[in-house]
Homo-oligomer: A and B are copies of this chain.
Amino acid sequence: MTTAAAELEKTADPILQTDFVKEMVKQMRAIDSYGTYDGWPVERILAPYIKTKDQRREIPVIGDPDDETLSRVKAFYNAIAVLIEKECGLMAVPMINITHEGFGRALITVGKLVVMDRTLRDVHRFSFDSLSKMKDEADKVLSVALEIVGKYPDVAGL
């Protein structure tokens, strides 16, 4: 690591070093087929997830959300599934279904156990106030999921 890079790391937001953010970046790179994100800093790669309330309100919720938005939603729940898997050692499978006009359902299953089940609305506007709010949300899902797995290990192991 060069001195400049080390310097940057020291001053950088510690959130960038968390498992969640690292996994999010991995997920985003996985859908970046043309290598557009190569060399981009983490904040820039995850920037589309961060929007102010006003920015969100400006996005029309008419029609179906575009593919980029959908893959961002998927990347978010994929990252959470990976973290669940890391923590409990069992395969966690995400499933996102956007039915119409930005409505849908997001599930994560471990074995025969549903560890997360969310109704999605206004997917067009899928975003968070800040990176730390985004991580909070993921942490919440993660802890609930692990609690359920801990409570019903036999169902999760099926």
In the complex, A155 has a CB within 8 A of chain B: yes
In the complex, A50 has a CB within 8 A of chain B: no
Report the minimal beta-carbon distance from A106 to chain B, rounded to whole angstroms.
Answer: 10
Complex contact B113–A105 (CB within 8 A): no
Within residues 7 to 36 of chain A, which ones have a CB less than 8 A from any CB in chain B? none
Q: Which of B95, B97, B109, B155 contacts A152 (CB 8 A)?
A: B155
Q: Is the interface of A mostly helix, strand, loop or mixed?
A: strand
Best-surrounded residue of A96, A105, A114, A117 (most CB of chain B within 10 A): A114
Interface size counted on chain A using CB atoms at 8 A? 15
In the complex, A148 has a CB within 8 A of chain B: yes
In the complex, A107 has a CB within 8 A of chain B: yes
Query: Whole-angstrom distance between the alpha carbons of A97 and B104 in the complex?
Result: 11
Query: Whole-angstrom distance between the alpha carbons of A153 and B44 in the complex?
Result: 47
In the complex, A100 has a CB within 8 A of chain B: no
List the B residue with the shortest CB-CB distance to A104: B95
Q: Which of B97, B112, B115, B155 contacts A117 (CB 8 A)?
A: B112
Within residues 137 to 158 of chain A, which ones have a CB less than 8 A from any CB in chain B? 148, 152, 155
| A interface residues, Cβ below 8 angstroms from B | 95-97, 105, 107, 109, 111-115, 117, 148, 152, 155
